[in-house]
Each structure stands twice: as structure tokens, then as C-alpha cells.
Structure 1
């Protein structure tokens, strides 16, 4: 990917933008087209999708039409998608190839196992570890073929990460999980740091709850920024990529303006924000 946007280096040697657009809940071709158009105009060069979002085809079509309009090529954008939990295990090849076909962009920059479980099985089902291993072996195969430029996981716990890291041939390039000042994921970040895995955040605004948090609002007022900008800056200032989702062009522009200011050490560590922590589930996006 060629871009001047702030980025992070993955263990594959490829740069990934620190800021991307989340596309969850963008379903219709028109909605996806308008969102991608606005995002590209605002400087976004990364887009996060998933098979369960049911918008891979719409995203691929929008990009093919809009990249020339913005003077860009396929190589200028970074596309992430994810394996459907129903395809975990023996159907992983079918699921990954379906994502490749739906996006129809030649390759996927980053492909993730969406969650450690399998659709229809409880978390403790003893078939899940084998299904995870089979899915990862499939992603490794497609990665070796160049169809998936990087592979990783989403919603994994520290135990899931250690299980994978101790058995894989190709280490994951990235872990995507919920991360914000109320959910700092200290153990997961430590595991990622130890093994050179990029740690990426979703739900950076605490599912929207944190933008009205009094501490966040106070910091935003002092910085003359929006609460959302403060929360996104809190992550990227730690080198953590973010993928805020929005279909509002003005909000997209605001969310992109997080690289021209710095939070103080005091504001970065306002521990009051962390009160009220609610443990997240395995998958919620």
C-alpha cells in the first residue's frame, strides 16, 4: 500500500494505516458508495469489512468505481475482512475464497478469523480448538499463495492468542479487539508486544457511551476537540490503529483529524474514565 497517512508496520513488512473506516451496518450499495466516497475524500485509506457484515461485494464495487475518481489505485488502499464464524473449521477455505470473490479486488490486505468460536457451538465446546486450528491452516495456505497479504484474528483472549502463537507456522499479523479507556486490554497488549503482533482497536468510543463521559468531555473541552477525537487520539497516540464506523461525512472528517494534536501524559492516564468497566463478550461488532 502506498500512502502518506500515518501508519503502523505489520510483521509482514507492510504498512497499515493507523486510521480506517469501519463498515459494520453499511448494507445497501448506495450507503456503502456514499460512505467510501466521503471517506476517501477525507483521507481514509483503510476499510474494515467482514463476511457477516454482508457488504463485501458492495465495498469492492464502490472502491473499483471510486478509486480512479480520487486519483488512487488498488495499491493505495488497505482492505480488511473476516471469516464468517459459520465457516470456522472445515469450511474455512470456502469462506475465505467467498470473501475474495465478493470483494473482487485481486487480494485482501488483511484477513482475520472473526472470533475464536464456531457458529452453533457454545464457547466451551471441545470442537472449537480444532476448528480454530483448521481455519488458521487455511489462512496460512492462502497467505502463502499471496491471496491474503496478511492474516490475523479478532476477539481472541490471551489464552486463544497463546494457543495460536505456540502452534502456528505463520504468526498472526494483527489482533483486533475492543479497546478504549474503560477496557485497556493490558494482558492482550502484552502478549501482542511479546510476539510482534499489531494490536488494533474496535469500539474505540465504548459503543458510543464514552463520548458523554464527564472526564472525556472535560479533556475534549480543554483540547478544543470533540470527545470522539480525544478517544481516537488516546488509542493512536499509543500506536494502536483505530477503525471508527460512521456513514456521516462530517463525522468522518472529524474522526480523521486526530493526527495534529497530542494529549498530555495526565490526560492519557485519567483513570476515572476506566470506572464502570463492563466486560465485553466474545463478539459484539
Structure 2
């Protein structure tokens, strides 16, 4: 897995499309309002972030697009210098997938999206056991494949898929998913999913790296942070990127946004990594997709 860095970008990983995805991006979940989004985007660009992760259900695609249009020139950057991810809402799963993706493009005010994901394996309004879910996923993927062929979605992928969902997709897809984005932190190491991603040459990406803030107070995390003279957040993010797993910490605080970017000038020891990974117990802070058929 190749990594590169430059004065203008954070280290990145290579996708199977040939594009590079930054190892660090700003997660935009619960980041609402034009002023808050602009402030966070400004702080992120200043701190070296070059990736932004939104979604239809976050309700901030339009604000992200406007903020980037206004702020990129301030930093001597263009659209091509940033990596934008968004996601198909569960309400658009199936027949409405094409319209949903095009609406994301329209809200962002962009000609293309660098990475577009199916956000959830289920369909809004259907029970998780509803046998229509697999068919809807297949329809959504076909729509994303078509938009990928048109160049409107540079890379396509999935989020919150289980190993079973991944095998189902790999058996039928024409375009292999470039990325799987799931919850990943020391309490949920996702060993089976990571093996599946390696088998299928799919890039594994993390969200909820800080355990919704709860992991910041974990005694082991705090001890490692103190020994490295770093913050618990930096240690948790470093634990992932040291395994070549891209991270998407979310914050609206410019100070924390800058602090979270300070993860590329130090390394955790093998002992540190082992102590953190030993915390694994399959604990999820977010939704569990395992019941979605």
C-alpha cells in the first residue's frame, strides 16, 4: 500500500481506480448550518485537510459545496485539490438511486464526486428482514455503476456493509467497490471485514474513530497518550492511520480540527499498537447492520 505526501496535502492511499484518497478527512456528521460548515471547512483547509465526508442524510451537502467554492481560492486550491465523499440516503435505495445521486451532485454544485457510497444496506421504510433489501441494493449499485461510467462519480463504494453484504455485491457487480467505510476503533477492530476487503482489493475506511468521544477517557488510551505526549484523540487516529486506514474525525471546533491533523509526525510503538488493539471486544457505538438481510 503506497502512501504519499506533499506540502499541500496529507498522506494518502491509492484506490483501485488509480485515484488517491487522503488518510485524513473531515467527517461532517451533525455539522449543520452555513456558518458552522464554513468555519469548519476553513479551519480544515488551513490545517491541511484535503478530504471532506458528507452524505445526503447529513443535510449539509449544499453548505459544503458553497463553502469550498468560496474558500478554496483563499488557500490557492482548486476543486481538483480536494477529495469529496457523499452517500446515498436509505430513502433513495433502489429505484430512486439514480435520482438520489444526481441530487447529491446538484446540492454540492459540482460536476463530479470523488467517492459516492451506498450509506446503508437496508431501505428506509422496510424492515431489516424484508427480502426486498437485496434487490434494492443491487438496483442502487447498478445506478452508481452507470454514473461512474459517465464520470460523475469518480469512485463508488459502500458503507456499513457486513462481510455477507460484501460477498453478495462482489458476486454480481460490474464495477468493484473502491471503498468500504465502517465503524473502526480499538474496541471494534473489524478483523473479518478487513480480511474481506483485502481479499476483494477494497480500501477499508474508518468512521467513529473516537468512539463518539467515549474512547477519549479509556484508561489504556489515556496512558498511551500520556507516554507519547499526545492527546487521546491523536493516539486513536494514529492507531488507524498507522494501519493505512483512512480516518474521518468530526468536529466543529477549529482548535480540535487542527489538533486532529497532528497525527503524521509521530508513531506508536508495536507495544502501543498491541495494547490498543487488545481492547477489541466487538463493541459498536453506532448502528449495527448485521440484521439487514
Please tell me the TM-score bracket, short chain as reference.
Answer: over 0.9
Task: Please tell me whether residue 17 in structure 1 is matched to residue 22 in structure 2.
Answer: yes
SS at match of 1:190: helix
Partner Cα distance (1:130, 1:19) in 2: 34
SS at match of 2:204: strand
Task: Please tell me whether residue 169 in structure 1 is matched to residue 174 in structure 2.
Answer: yes
Q: CA deviation at 1:123?
A: 1.1
Partner Cα distance (1:132, 1:59) in 2: 27
Partner Cα distance (2:284, 2:31) in 1: 26
Q: Which residue of 2 aligns with 1:244?
A: 249
Q: Which residue of 1 aligns with 2:3?
A: none
Partner Cα distance (2:35, 2:155) in 1: 29
Q: CA deviation at 1:272?
A: 4.8
Q: CA deviation at 1:122?
A: 1.2
Q: Which residue of 2 aligns with 1:273?
A: 279
Partner Cα distance (2:41, 2:229) in 1: 28
Equivalent runs, 1:1-285 vs 2, <5 Å: 4-270=9-275, 271-274=277-280, 277-278=283-284, 280-282=286-288
SS at match of 2:85: strand
SS at match of 2:287: coil
**TM-score (structure 1 length as normaliser):** 0.96
Aligned length: 282
Partner Cα distance (2:91, 2:208) in 1: 23
Q: CA deviation at 1:106?
A: 1.2
For the 8 Å contact 1:213–1:273, the answer to whether it is kept is no
CA offset digits 1:200-257 (Å, max 9, x no partner): 0000011111100000000000000000000000000000000000011110111000
Partner Cα distance (2:191, 2:15) in 1: 20
Q: CA deviation at 1:281?
A: 2.4
Change (3 A) 1:278 1:28: closer
Q: CA deviation at 1:276?
A: 8.1
Partner Cα distance (2:165, 2:9) in 1: 34
Partner Cα distance (1:19, 1:64) in 2: 21
Change (3 A) 1:279 1:103: closer
Q: CA deviation at 1:105?
A: 1.6
Partner Cα distance (1:220, 1:203) in 2: 18
SS at match of 1:208: helix
Structure 1, unaligned stretches of length 5 or more?
A: none
Partner Cα distance (1:246, 1:238) in 2: 23
Structure 2, unaligned stretches of length 5 or more?
A: 1-5
Partner Cα distance (2:138, 2:282) in 1: 35
For the 8 Å contact 1:111–1:152, the answer to whether it is kept is yes
For the 8 Å contact 1:23–1:47, the answer to whether it is kept is yes
